[in-house]
Amino acid sequence: MENEELIQQCAEKAQKWLDSPLYDEETKRGVQQMLCSEDKTELVNAFYQNLEFGTGGLRGIMGPGTNRMNIYTVGAATQGLANYLNKSFEGKKDIAVVIGYDCRNNSQLFAETCANIFSANGIKVYLFDDMRPTPEMSFAIRHLHCQSGIILTASHNPKEYNGYKAYWDDGAQVLAPHDKGIIDEVNKVNVADIKFEGNKELITIVGEEIDQAYLEAVHTVSIDPECIKRQKDLSIVYTPIHGTGMKLIPRSLNLWGFENVNCVPEQMIKDGNFPTVVSPNPENAEALTLALKLAKQIDADIVMASDPDADRVGMACKNDKGEWILINGNQTCLIFLYYIIRNRQAKGQMKGNEFIVKTIVTTDLIREVAKKNHIEMFDCYTGFKWIAREIRINEGKKKYIGGGEESYGFMAADFVRDKDAVSACSLLAEICAWAKDQGKTLYDVLMDIYEEYGFAYNKAISVVKPGKSGADEIKAMMEEFRAQPVKELAGSPVTLVKDFKTLTATDAEGKTTPIQMPETSNVIQWFTADGTIVSIRPSGTEPKIKFYIETRDELQSAADYEATVARADQKVEAIKKSIGL
């Protein structure tokens, strides 16, 4: 239970909602229930702060309250963004935005609310006629020559959540200076300032015409269409987990030439309650249960799953014993970049100015692949807005050929500026076809990578800390890690500490050097003498603190894989003890 002073403050804020004529009756009933409840936890969590419009937009649990996703918090964000757009493009007569949304409860309501607000502020709106993948919205911004775009989605979060992501005219999520500028405008907005009454003349409904243009662009990602022709019967199992992927991913696979695409029927139903899974997150094995069941029934070659807004892809394939195993995000990213580099080289498509991008918490084995193949690699912060930033910086000078992150996101080309499960699923199927053409599986391809470049084992651990008390605990944990940094991990001395909050790297002797990054971030990394890397960061979208552990080893042959993994797993357990997990 929170302290009495905080409860009183929250009750006063809630009472203002009840007293105001600006809030609807359904909202007021929900607020009244919280005030009347003996347990004030829900009241505190709903009103202890304003849902912050951060650099990634909004994300939170749906419901009434200042700290919840509802038409008022979403409305304030949209009014603030509209104000910023009108200031930034002052004098431009046709400022335009694209609005997309996913399958979640209230996503369409929020999208239509946003369309009304933008149009009431004189901004032209292109609103999708139904749910669509996030990457298609990103594509549509540039395709329609818009100045901004938003997507209503909470990605892979549980069903209680929804979210709001803002994009700029390059199709990427907003970065400096626009992120801070939008936040300032949003923070000025009171509920009375929100213009809810829309101008229908400024709202255009879009759909199939954007779908076709986007799918044509996705098809350009294909490197080896001939191998697809030879393997057109590749048996693919796909699930959208009730989300937007059902709209375009089967179509894209068919367009690429795959004729044996088997969708999980129970999950090809749009449903924001995600009734067939505990969590609609392809990172979780449980979410692929039905897909794996179907794959075993039909003896499929590959299983793919996209999250509700179809920007992430999870994957499973058979190992050397014919058993279905999950391939994690680091391994998937590694396979993508290995295939792209190797096959662009084989096709004579390399000009010598290519580059790839990964995030700082994604496997460093990618660095080895890039180095050995003389490809430039950039490290950036977590989030595809940072990958998009590298593309923008190098546009016209260097050629982007792929980038990804450990959390199951990959972007295969720059016509989209966010992670893209539509192109990723299509390319993944091509890689599987290419492997099968050689009598191999995706598992065999992964083993080939490990044998050539070394073995990396990655483990991500999330510690969930909900509510205000949880946020305070996470803050205290990060402060403790900075104040008392570990000296060794599983017996190997820490030789370098990177603190992205201070942008300093400190070696074992205490010598400090600056880290070149565009801004600070609340991330700590420890590097040890034996190649272990541990990264720690609070999540920007969920109430959790994340630990990313990478250990290194050598893999002599595929026959040694299980023993090598077991050895790495033991080491991870020792590392967890070293950091108190």
Q: Which residues in 546-577 are b (16+ Cβ under 10 Å) and which e?
A: bbbbbbbbebeebebbeebeeebeebbeebbe
Q: Please tell me whether residues 444 and 459 are part of one structural domain.
A: no
CA 548 – CA 551 distance, rounded (Å): 10
pLDDT one-digit tens code per residue, 470-490: 888 899 999 999 998 899 999
The pLDDT value recorded for residue 1 is 44
Residues 6+ apart with CB under 8 A from 69: 51, 58, 59, 60, 61, 62, 63, 106, 110, 161, 162, 163, 164
Residue range of the domain that includes 342: 214-453
CA 62 – CA 166 distance, rounded (Å): 18
Q: Please tell me whether residues 285 and 242 are part of one structural domain.
A: yes
pLDDT one-digit tens code per residue, 311-332: 999 999 999 999 999 999 999 9
Q: Please tell me whether residues 288 and 219 are part of one structural domain.
A: yes
Average of pLDDT values for 86-108?
A: 96
pLDDT one-digit tens code per residue, 428-437: 999 999 999 9
> Which three-class secondary structure state does DSSP give residue 402?
strand
- Beta strands 512-514 and 488-489, pairing class: unpaired
Cβ neighbour number for residue 510 with a 10 Å cutoff: 6
Q: Please tell me whether residues 11 and 83 are part of one structural domain.
A: no
CATH of the domain at 402: 3.40.120.10
Q: Please tell me whether residues 113 and 200 are part of one structural domain.
A: yes
pTM of the full predicted structure?
0.94
Assess whether pLDDT exceeds 80 at residue 456.
yes
Identify the active-site residue in 119, 138, 155, 535.
Answer: 155
Q: Please tell me whether residues 156 and 53 are part of one structural domain.
A: yes
**Residues pairing with 506 in the sheet:** 497, 512
CA 67 – CA 59 distance, rounded (Å): 10
Domain boundary, last residue among 438, 453, 468: 453
CA 168 – CA 149 distance, rounded (Å): 7
CA 424 – CA 221 distance, rounded (Å): 9
Longest dimension (CA), the chain: 71
- Beta strands 409-411 and 58-61, pairing class: unpaired
**Residues pairing with 463 in the sheet:** 545
Q: Please tell me whether residues 10 and 78 are part of one structural domain.
A: no
Q: Are 357 and 380 in contact (CB under 8 A)?
A: yes
Q: Phi/psi class of residue 447: alpha, beta or left (left: φ > 0; alpha: ψ in -120 to 50)?
A: alpha
The pLDDT value recorded for residue 53 is 87
Assess whether pLDDT exceeds 90 at residue 297.
yes
DSSP class of 288: G
The pLDDT value recorded for residue 56 is 78
CA 402 – CA 404 distance, rounded (Å): 7
Q: Please tell me whether residues 298 and 163 are part of one structural domain.
A: no
The pLDDT value recorded for residue 541 is 66
The reply to whether 462 belongs to the active site is no
- 296-301 own/partner pairs: CB under 8 Å, 24+ apart: 296/324, 298/235, 298/237, 298/262, 299/235, 300/235, 300/236, 300/237, 300/262, 301/234, 301/235, 301/236, 301/432, 301/436, 301/441
Written as one letter, the residue type at 547 is F
Domain tally for the chain? 4
Domain boundary, last residue among 154, 172, 206: 206
> Which three-class secondary structure state does DSSP give residue 362?
coil
HSE of 226 in the Cβ direction (CA atoms, 13 Å)?
A: 2
Q: Please tell me whether residues 437 and 475 are part of one structural domain.
A: no
Q: How confident is the model at residue 465 (pLDDT cuts 50, 70, 90)?
A: confident
Number of H helices, E strands in the chain: 18, 23
* pLDDT > 70 fraction of the chain, expressed in percent and rounded: 99
CATH of the domain at 545: 3.30.310
Q: Please tell me whether residues 170 and 286 are part of one structural domain.
A: no
How buried is 89 (Cβ within 10 angstroms: 0-12 exposed, 13-18 middle, 19+ buried)? Answer: middle
* Cα-based torsion angle of the residue sequence 206, 211, 212, 218 in order, rounded to the nearest 10 degrees: 150
Show the tokens assigned to 354: 């290519």
Q: Please tell me whether residues 283 and 201 are part of one structural domain.
A: no
Q: How confident is the model at residue 310 (pLDDT cuts 50, 70, 90)?
A: very high
pLDDT one-digit tens code per residue, 273-296: 999 999 999 999 999 999 999 999
pLDDT one-digit tens code per residue, 18-54: 999 999 999 999 999 999 999 999 999 999 999 988 8
Q: Please tell me whether residues 196 and 259 are part of one structural domain.
A: no
- Residue bearing tokens 């692949």: 369
pLDDT one-digit tens code per residue, 362-394: 999 999 999 999 999 999 999 999 999 999 999
